[in-house]
Amino acid sequence: MKQVFIIGVGLIGGSFALDIKKQNPECLVYGIDKSEAHLDKAKTLGIIDKKATYEDLSTADVVIVAIPVDATLEVLPKVLDLVSDETVVFDAGSTKEDICLKVKNHPKRRNFLAAHPIAGTEFSGPDAAIHNLYNNKTNIICEVEETAFKLQEKALKLFTDLGMRIRYMNPKAHDKHIAYVSHLSHISSFMLGKTVIEKEKNERDIFDMAGSGFASTVRLAKSSPAMWTPIFKQNKANVIETLEEYIDNLKHFKKLMLEDNFEAVFKEMETTNHIKDILSGIE
């Protein structure tokens, strides 16, 4: 692997670049981004070696598309048009069905691997890129059978070199499951933050009184709306379904409170404590 192109040099793309450069010191990493300031920052930070344009993609061994999912729908076919037959292209989007459908009939569909590394932080931009972001994280691969075998091998070696666990899933199932375990938690965090900001007008009170529980629960509300709005749009049906179930549970909890049924409140929380067993292996 001699030349890697990162499209989108923020947290996700930049973190890939840092670890690829660490694993392959001889590899040149090129950056493509709509923001010239991001490219300049990424170069200054040593995330990328050189700036590039789409016209340079014919020399790529690997192309990583790490941009918002709505932009991926537009950019991915263009990328596939330009790469060589020996290039593997993978994305890192949090939705998969629309992206896979977009390139379903592309002549170079065999060059594309649909991926979703379950990793990230609440921060964005080149400054947010960090080493070892993907170590011990799960990477969900969709429609692996649509990718040329030798290109699968190239991508999977990269993932395992970075310490990732691989799981295979079809795009529709991926989008449904991720709505529950990722998209809903982001909405909950944003709306908790909104509720507190609206009711606690004194920002100093929020800062002084917020404990670690509030801080950890609302952490995701610091995430980029530019990234998350397209995700909610692409996964609208699944997100609405999860919201309806979540709202029903909130209404049920409220009803128990109104009825002074705190024995039932206790049982609800005790049953849900099982989540700590399920998540015990997560760092």
> DSSP string of 79-137?
HHHHS-TT-EEEE--S--HHHHHHTTT-TTGGGEEEEEE----S--SGGG--TTTTTT-
Contact between residue 139 and residue 93 where contact means Cβ atoms under 8 Å apart: no
Domain boundary among 141, 169, 197: 169
- Predicted confidence at residue 276, as pLDDT, reads 83
Residue 134 in domain: yes
Residue 283, in any domain of the structure = no
C-alpha dist (Å) from residue 247 to 13, 50, 189, 214, 232: 35, 48, 14, 20, 17
pLDDT by residue for the chain (283 residues), tens only, comes to 899 999 999 999 999 999 999 999 999 999 999 999 999 999 999 999 999 999 999 999 999 999 999 999 999 999 999 999 999 999 999 999 999 999 999 999 999 999 999 998 889 999 999 999 999 999 999 999 999 999 999 999 999 999 999 999 999 999 999 999 999 999 999 998 898 887 766 666 655 656 667 777 888 999 999 999 999 999 999 999 999 999 999 999 999 999 999 999 999 999 999 888 867 766 5
pLDDT at residue 50, as a whole number = 97
Which residue segment(s) compose the domain that 114 sits in? 3-169
Do 147 and 189 lie in one domain? The reply is no
Q: Which pLDDT score is estimated for 242?
A: 97
Report the CATH number that the domain containing residue 157 is assigned in CATH: 3.40.50.720
Looking at the fold, whether 12 and 90 belong to one and the same domain comes out as yes
Beta bridge partners of 63: 5, 89
Amino acid found at 110:
R
Are both 15 and 77 inside the same structural domain? Answer: yes
Does 104 reside within a domain? yes
pTM above 0.85, yes or no: yes
Output the domain CATH number for residue 181: 1.10.3660.10
Same structural domain for residues 108 and 182?
no
Q: Is 151 within the bounds of a domain?
A: yes
Domain stops at, among 169, 203, 225: 169
- My answer on whether 96 and 74 are in the same domain is yes
Total domains in the chain come to 2
